[in-house]
Amino acid sequence: MWKNSDNIILVGFMGAGKSTVGRELALHLGYRFIDLDECIESREGRAIRAIFAASGEEAFRAMETAALGELASCRGAVIATGGGIVQRPDNRKMMKRLGRIVYLRAALETLCGRMAASDARPLADLSGAGRHRLRSLLATREPFYQEADLIIDTDSLTAQETASRILAGLASQEQPRCREVEVHLGEQSYPIRIGRGILDVLGESLTGGNFPRRVALVTNTTVAPLYAGRVEESLRRAGFECHSILLPDGEQFKTQDTVTSIYGRLIEGGFDRGSALVALGGGVVGDIAGFAAATFMRGIPYAQVPTTLLAQVDSSVGGKTGINHPLGKNLVGAFHQPRLVHIDVETLKTLPAREFAAGMAEVIKYGMIWDGGFFSWLESHVNDLLRLAPEALVVAIRQSCRIKAEIVARDERESSLRAILNYGHTFGHAVENLAGYGVYRHGEAVAIGMHVAALGARRLGWCTAADVERLVRLLKSFHLPVLPPALSLEKVVAAMGRDKKSHEGILRFVFNKGIGGHCIEEISNPRNFLADILSDLGSG
């Protein structure tokens, strides 16, 4: 919990308003205000721009680390930091010991507008090429900014309003603490809450969103003994009337029969359009419960409480719900956005190691096609993630959810941009299907598919061999497979042709552009294209 004597450390990119907001915040609290850049300028007797020009960035970063270290015994201060301070691991450790870290976030367009009015930005070239460099720099730093205790979006806020948001956010942060991502979909917008030990406050999280007071908790026979009791108690403590619906565990039960059984339980229990569902479990439970919510009484609200990494970073976010058909996976479904996604990273402690690794494939995907800085962060935090360090898990999950939320907000119904989330899935689904469901976890098949897609991207000139090697190395570090099994090329091509992204024999394939970019190409002769890739692997 934030105490009144704690320091507040403001981080963010150039132009975020750290100094202006910091002074406002210090004035309100009666705190001392410390601008780290001003401390360095005072000690060196020259401006930051002059230090960069004469000594270079590395020398300045060393001065910055030294200045931060001198504040180790400081109390009751608001500290504004430089935009690049988060890049050094030692700095991040010192700031965490020093107080509560607040990230002042803004869009690049907002930041550039603010920087244009300042002449003290050593790295701020606002030309076309300069903006491209700033965008890349922001992407590199973003995962480290995301480690903050509190994130405030400042685009439309004055300094006074931002300070008020910080005070309110810190005052409301009691253990367990939640980090939040918003999925912006107009009237269908909803929050994703991520934290450690927050399962017990699910009921409180639902009380503020006009969520119906009569709920059915849908879970399965594996998850129920672990977490259902805590969730039911949390809901009842918050004033909800809670009933439970227990499903058998397994992909084979993701069928219309299972959904029909849920309808029956709801009807027998007197549930109506003023009721809601809460899905507690992995992707199968979430998909089934979401589809039941989308179709019962022509649609009722629901919340997602995912307990597997794959569900937390992928299936619980974006409103895709559905069931399998004897002729294929997820062929019956609906778009139905949840009211809340509530993620407790402690549920991953009971997840088998193989399931965790499968979820990491989807996490890596986000870095590969959208955020190169996040990919680099993953490379440097492999050990933390493998040992399930809560802080690293929260950052990885929040960053993954942030990326997916941004993509979904731009293309809810997968008419264009959202299709890039299928990176690795076209070939991966074929492998999963032909090998027999259960031989490969979904994420394992996607890992193989990402490797194949990256090799295809290299053939088309979209990435380098070094990019492919980085992907392979990161996948292997999480014990994921990267080589396809021995399968008939003809059968693989036929299975890919049945993919939802295929149209009239032409396959739309998602490729990475370098690391952190994406493109979609139509492959008119997928057989030859795939044969060439498999030849590169020495297996075709």
How many angstroms separate the CA atoms of 262 and 247, rounded?
9
Q: Which of 147, 414, 432, 444 is catalytic?
A: 414
Q: Which of 58, 97, 210, 298 is catalytic?
A: 298
Q: Is 527 a catalytic residue?
A: no
Q: Which of 179, 404, 458, 501 is catalytic?
A: 404
Element (H, E) at 511: strand 506-513
Tell me the CA distances in angstroms from 307 to 76, 197, 206, 223, 253, one per residue in order.
39, 12, 18, 8, 18
Q: Which of 18, 141, 320, 451 is catalytic?
A: 320
Burial category of 311 from C-beta neighbours within 10 Å (exposed 0-12, middle 13-18, buried 19 and up)? buried
Tell me the CA distances in angstroms from 300 to 190, 291, 295, 525, one per residue in order.
15, 10, 8, 44
Q: Which of 398, 429, 458, 518 is catalytic?
A: 429
Q: Is 422 a catalytic residue?
A: yes
Residues with Cβ within 8 Å of residue 248, at least 6 apart in sequence: 220, 221, 258
Q: Are 125 and 168 in contact (CB under 8 A)?
A: no
How many angstroms separate the CA atoms of 336 and 311, rounded?
16
Q: Is 418 a catalytic residue?
A: yes
Q: Is 362 a catalytic residue?
A: yes
Q: Is 329 a catalytic residue?
A: no
Q: Is 404 a catalytic residue?
A: yes
Query: Cβ–Cβ contacts within 10 Å for residue 102, how many?
Result: 26
Q: Is 425 a catalytic residue?
A: yes
How many angstroms separate the CA atoms of 123 and 86, rounded?
16
How many angstroms separate the CA atoms of 217 and 245, rounded?
6
How many angstroms separate the CA atoms of 1 and 505, rounded?
58
Q: Which of 141, 165, 402, 418 is catalytic?
A: 418
Q: Is 469 a catalytic residue?
A: no
Residues with Cβ within 8 Å of residue 310, at least 6 apart in sequence: 282, 283, 355, 358, 359, 362, 442, 443
Q: Is 429 a catalytic residue?
A: yes
Q: Are 380 and 235 in contact (CB under 8 A)?
A: no
442-459 vs 465-477: helix crossing angle, rounded to 10: 170
Q: Are 357 and 479 in contact (CB under 8 A)?
A: yes
Return the bridge partners of 102, or none: 10, 150
Q: Which of 336, 398, 402, 425 is catalytic?
A: 425
Query: Catalytic residue numbers?
Result: 298, 320, 362, 404, 414, 418, 422, 425, 429, 442
